[in-house]
Structure 1
Amino acid sequence: MSLLKGLAHIIAVVCLTIVTQVGGIIWILSSITAIRYKKKKRYVFPVIYLAFNLLIVPPIAKYFGREQLPIISSHLKPKNYIYPLLFRNYVDPELKQLLEHTAEDLKYHPMVITYLDANFPFFDGFPLLPHLSHNDGKKIDISFQYLDNDGKPTNKKPSVSGYGVYVKENGTYSTKCRDQGYWQYNFPKYLTFGTINDLELDKNNTAILIQKLLEHPKSQKLFIEPYLKDALSLNHYSKIRFHGCQAVRHDDHIHLQIR
């Protein structure tokens, strides 16, 4: 039984480290604390986890060149609280400044910048799975803007996670990449965690959002599907690139990175 418990602890540490970067350390600390003070770990772990999430990690992350994005904000906020809870809302200070300035510029539309996965709080090169990059504080995924069933702009998104609901079910590069053997290209459709709203892409406001993001001198690249670059009349922006078949589809979100 002790061997099984030990194996369970190892699995928990590995999984929490992969998903949150620091969760494995919190699990170990919680286990030690529970034993030391004879408390149940199912109570100790949530308390210590929230303490790290809200109080301990944010100031330490600054020494690693990362800052936490706003959690409760009117014009720049996460798709849901899962991203902050999983420590996936950390970015380079210059990227945070870019996003805050863009959100300030867009508040008169009005428009909310909704972010998805950003980066972990510590260490360059630590992978934020399932992404190929997002490991240096300089990348972030942002939701498109959408229209509701009445054709009016809405801050709602089509899926729980913000990923996986494509603007066009069978885009040109979707077929091309799959035909070349890149099976993972459509994988985000399995990461929706539920489709909750039937919405249509707001082409006008999505184009405005992208333009504002690219106006900042620190913006380096922005990934969307090539057919969307045409549909949004953004062909003259050289910073908008095709991400390649080795990645996943980008007609469910925007990927932005800075220099």
Structure 2
Amino acid sequence: MTQSPNVILYYLDAGFPFFDKYPLLPHLSHHDGKKVDLSYLYQDEKGNFTNLKPSISGYGVFESSDENEYNTTRFCKENGYFQYDYPKFLTLGQTDSKLTFSNQWNKKLMHSILANDAVTKVFIEPHLVKRLGLIDNRIRFHGCGAVRHDDHIHIQI
């Protein structure tokens, strides 16, 4: 893997443009210009960084918890939050099933995001917080009433 790949950072939603205070589904917010979703970073089957994403929309292909990680998705769905993995219907098609979540580059990305004092909240799934070794009081669990955040990063300023 190269020391510094040419990273293209994809933003997925920063607010729906047609009506004031109308968030793009399935969002509960994203209507005030202070929230943005970013795609995670991936590697190919050889372990090389790639700017490719596993879905066309950037949503709906999840980095699920490993066996030794807490399964928030199971907990939320077992407790009646059916919408928790709703973004699986928003992929607009998958692009490459051989792509894998890059722990190394996503950790670097998260540190870059958190280096900005304007960032007030970051939503990612608890198992990814643990896996990436992230410690920052701005990283929050969004709750079961929202959608899962292991297919994208939610940032709020």
TM-score normalised by the chain length of structure 1: 0.55
Pairwise CA distance, 1:156:
0.1
**1:233–1:113: structure 2 CA closer, same or farther, 3 Å change rule?**
same
Q: Which amino acid aligns with 2:30?
A: H
Pairwise CA distance, 1:122:
7.3
Q: Secondary structure at the match of 2:36?
A: strand
- 1:11 maps to none
Q: Which amino acid aligns with 1:113?
A: L
**1:256–1:135: structure 2 CA closer, same or farther, 3 Å change rule?**
same
User: Contact between 2:123 and 2:149, CA under 8 Å: does it hold in 1?
Assistant: yes
Partner residue of 1:178 out of 71, 74, 77: 77
| Aligned 1:48-127 pairs, distance under 5 A | 108-121=4-17, 125-127=21-23
Aligned partners of 1:122 and 1:168: how far apart in 2?
A: 33
Q: Which amino acid aligns with 2:71?
A: T
- 1:141 maps to 37
Identity %: 49
Partner residue of 2:54 out of 142, 158, 176: 158
- 2:144 maps to 245
**1:238–1:109: structure 2 CA closer, same or farther, 3 Å change rule?**
farther
User: Contact between 1:115 and 1:141, CA under 8 Å: does it hold in 2?
Assistant: yes
Pairwise CA distance, 1:139:
0.5
Aligned partners of 1:112 and 1:134: how far apart in 2?
A: 22
Aligned partners of 2:93 and 2:19: how far apart in 1?
A: 32
- 1:216 maps to 116
Aligned partners of 2:90 and 2:20: how far apart in 1?
A: 25
Pairwise CA distance, 1:166:
0.6
TM-score normalised by the chain length of structure 2: 0.89
Q: Which amino acid aligns with 2:41?
A: Q
Partner residue of 2:130 out of 220, 226, 230: 230
Aligned partners of 2:9 and 2:115: how far apart in 1?
A: 15
Q: Which runs of 4+ in 1 moved over 6 A?
A: none
Deviation by residue 1:80-111 (Cα, 9 ceiling, x = unmatched):
xxxxxxxxxxxxxxxxxxxxxxxxxxxx5432
Q: Secondary structure at the match of 1:116?
A: strand
- 2:88 maps to 189
Q: Which amino acid aligns with 1:210?
A: M
User: Contact between 1:123 and 1:136, CA under 8 Å: does it hold in 2?
Assistant: no
Aligned partners of 1:184 and 1:204: how far apart in 2?
A: 30
Aligned partners of 2:93 and 2:65: how far apart in 1?
A: 16
Gaps of 5+ in 2: none
Gaps of 5+ in 1: 1-107
Q: Secondary structure at the match of 1:254?
A: strand
Aligned partners of 1:185 and 1:169: how far apart in 2?
A: 14
Considering fraction of residues, name the structure with more helix: 1
Q: Which amino acid aligns with 2:58?
A: G
Q: Which amino acid aligns with 2:155?
A: L
User: Contact between 1:145 and 1:201, CA under 8 Å: does it hold in 2?
Assistant: yes
- 1:203 maps to 103
User: Contact between 1:120 and 1:137, CA under 8 Å: does it hold in 2?
Assistant: no
